Each structure stands twice: as structure tokens, then as C-alpha cells.
Amino acid sequence: MKKILVTGGAGYIGSHVVKALGEAGYRVLTYDNLSTGNRWAVLHGELVVGDLADREKLEQVVGDFTPDAVIHFAAGIEVGESVGNPLKYYRNNTANALGLLEVLKAAGVGRFIFSSTAAVYGIPETIPVDETAPLLPINPYGASKMMTERFLVDLSSAEDSFNYVALRYFNVAGADPQSRIGQDYKNPTHLITRALKTAKGEYDQLQVFGTDYPTPDGTGIRDYIHVDDLAAAHLSALRHLLDGGRSEIFNCGYGQGYSVKEVVHAAKKVTGVDFNVVEVPRREGDPPALIADNRRIIEMLGWVPRFNDLEYIIKTAWAWEQAVAEVRGRGR
């Protein structure tokens, strides 16, 4: 039974990967400070509450658990917050990643999967964007992830025994089909989650940022990937490393996009609620379209998307929104 250490495994994406790891028979240990994660979201294995900045505790956990591989999620993810408080993101996302890599190197742990982001591309010149596109992030969040990717490239080049896979996520959405876990942030910024919470009445309106983009309906286009398909991509990356595979970088998306208006229409159809939508000016730095070229992960890792259906993605997220209060209550 291979042992996998997951940092940030109590968060939205991390918890779905922990679920997939447990169901696949891996022994899992989650290390999370619970700043945005939840105890009840860790469905398999052990949870150790700790911060990556706590070097002594991190060294003890790694030394005691002796993981075969590490999957690193723990990070801040809000673009707007990163613009207002960049040093927080460079410390949490970049400096803490450096400290984690130092601990792993000292412990002889040489397999690493990194939770990266399409934000490293900034505003790409070519759509769909592939992994060879220039990295030109336009906010501290994307820059903090890009810096960690550079750590991995350099460490892998210097150490033959260290190999990594960096997965660049596009727009992750949806929830566990059984509604055991899902997105549960205090201030969600994702479009689908905001739309569904507006349908629930938690917000009085949904803001649409920009209707004058050079797209068919004037709103931004994004590539939405179901969180369970993303979890499956992590397991494919893990098998690649455990089988002796070398360092690689992959986009994680479906290779097609939906506009904001298309997402709003689908959310209204799924929920049956004609919620209030308000059009407001663009947000600075939002690209007109961001769609993954996903051929590399399909061809090299054999990843097969199963849930490439916008309405299905929204249905699982909507079911989660109906269940979240009860799940929170059980988890206390």
C-alpha cells in the first residue's frame, strides 16, 4: 500500500483527491491548517492539523509517515486577494512550497505532484493554450504558482532522484456526486458557485463582469472541468511517477469553453430559479477566453474525462448546495 501525503487535503480540490486516493487503495495522510479546509471533508486516512510554515512539525510528520509521494495543494487561491495582499501569497504559496521541498529533499522523498493553475499563462495569445505557451502571469496568485513551478524545474534538473508533475488547472467546478463533499469557502469567487448561491437566495444578485469582450455573446469564455475528473488526473499523474516516470507539466481542462452567459443560462435551467443578474464593467486583467489544449495529458497519461457536460457539473454543484448545511452540522 503506497503512502501519499496530501497538503491542503481538507480543501475543495484536495478533499476530492483524498477521496479518490482512498477509494483507489492508497494510504493517505492529510496535512492542513484548516484555514479554508474542513475536517469533515477528509473522507479517508488521517488528518494532521498543521501549517506548512511550522518546519519542526512538518519534518516530524514527513519523517514519521515516510510518504512514497506528496501531492501539494495548500495555497491561497483568490486572485483579488492576491492583488491586495501580494506578500501573503508569496509567503503562503511560494515560500511555504520552498520550505516543503527542502523538507522532502532532506527526507529523500522524490515524487511530487503540484497543484498549479492556468493563471500562469496570464492572457495567452493563442486559444486553446498549450503547455509550451509563455508564462506571463498578470497577478500575484499566478506569479506565486509560476515561481513554485520554477523551483520544481530546477530541483528536478539538479536531482536525478526527484521528479514532479505540475497540473495547471483551468476552471474547476462541480462536487462529489453523492454530495459528501464540495466547495465550501466563506467568500466564493467562482462563477458557478456564486450563481447557485444567488439561486438559493444567499446573494441578491449575480454580477457579470464585462459584456464587451470579443466573444460571440460579449462575455468571457472559460474551460470548466469537473472536480472528480481533475481528481482522476491526479491519480494518473501519481501512477506515472510511481512507475518511474520523469517530470512533466500538463493542462487540466476539457478543451472547450462556455461563456458567462451560457453558464448563467445553464444554472437557471438546472435550479429552476430565474435569479437576478446584473451586468457590470470588466475586471482588470480578465482574459476574453481561456481554454486548455488538453491533448498532452490525454496522450501521455491516458487520462479520460468522464464528466464533460456543463449541466452535469452544475447539477452536482447544486445538489451539494442543498446538502452543505447538513454536512457541516454532522461534521461539528
Total structural domains in the chain?
Answer: 1
Structural domain includes residue 280: no
Would 89 be classed as within a structural domain?
yes
Residue 188: pLDDT band with limits 50, 70, 90:
confident
Do 291 and 256 meet the contact criterion of CB atoms below 8 Å apart?
yes
Count other Cβ atoms within 10 Å, centred on residue 252. Answer: 26
Give me the mean pLDDT over the 162-189 stretch: 94
Place of cell 435569479: 275
Residue 45 inside a domain? The answer is: yes
| pLDDT number for residue 249 | 98
Task: Determine the Cα–Cα distance for residues 285 and 143; give it in Å rounded to an integer.
Answer: 13
CATH code for position 160: 3.40.50.720
What is d(CA 299, CA 147) in angstroms, rounded to the nearest whole number? 27
Backbone angles phi, psi at 302, to 5 degrees: 70, 25
Q: What is the pTM of this model?
A: 0.96
Asked whether residue 1 carries a pLDDT value surpassing 70, the answer given is yes
Is 37 or 328 the better-scoring residue by pLDDT?
37
Residue 60, all three cell numbers:
516530524
Domain containing residue 239:
3-173+224-254+291-306
pLDDT at 232: 98
Among 314, 234, 213, 330, which Cα is nearest to 273's?
A: 314
Residue 332 has a pLDDT of 52
- Span 45-50, mean pLDDT? 98
> Is 62 inside any structural domain?
yes
Cis, peptide link before residue 124, omega less than 30° from 0: no
Residue 246 within a domain: yes
Please state, in angstroms and as integers, the Cα–Cα distance from residue 231 to each residue in 26, 141, 156, 235, 262, following that order: 14, 22, 24, 7, 25
What was the pLDDT predicted at 92?
Answer: 96
Beta carbons within 10 angstroms of residue 81's beta carbon = 17
- Give percent of the chain above pLDDT 70: 100
Residue 107 confidence (pLDDT) = 98
Positions marked active-site: 141
Mean pLDDT of 146-173: 97
In a domain, 91, yes or no: yes
Confidence of residue 60 (pLDDT cuts 50, 70, 90): very high
276 contact partners, CB below 8 Å, separation of at least 6 = 198, 204, 205, 206
* pLDDT band, residue 134 (cuts 50/70/90): very high
Q: How far apart are CA 189 and CA 80, in angstroms?
A: 9
The dihedral over CA atoms of 295, 2, 146, 54, expressed in degrees to the nearest 10, equals 160
In this predicted structure, the answer to whether residue 234 has a pLDDT above a threshold of 90 is yes
Structure confidence at residue 176 as a pLDDT band (50, 70, 90) = very high
- Quote the pLDDT of residue 78: 87
What integer best gives the mean pLDDT of the chain? 96
Q: Which three cell numbers stand for residue 23?
A: 477509494
314 inside domain:
no
Measured CA to CA, the distance from residue 258 to residue 123 in angstroms comes to 17
Q: Give the tens place of pLDDT for each residue, 193-223.
A: 999 999 999 999 999 999 999 999 999 999 9
Give the per-residue SS3 of the chain: CCEEEEECCCCHHHHHHHHHHHHCCCEEEEEECCCCCCHHHCCCCEEEECCCCCHHHHHHHHHHHCCCEEEECCCCCCHHHHHHCHHHHHHHHHHHHHHHHHHHHHHCCCEEEEEEEHHHHCCCCCCCECCCCCCCCCCHHHHHHHHHHHHHHHHHHHCCCCEEEEEEECEEECCCCCCCCCCCCCCCCCHHHHHHHHHHCCCCCEEEECCCCCCCCCCCEECEEEHHHHHHHHHHHHHHHHCCCCCEEEEECCCCCEEHHHHHHHHHHHHCCCCCEEEECCCCCCCCEECECCHHHHHHHCCCCCCCCHHHHHHHHHHHHHHHHHHHHHHC
pLDDT at residue 286 is higher than 90: no
Q: pLDDT tens digits, residue range 82-123?
A: 999 999 999 999 999 999 999 999 999 999 999 999 999 999
* In a domain? residue 99: yes
Please state the separation of Cα 324 from the chain's center in Å: 20
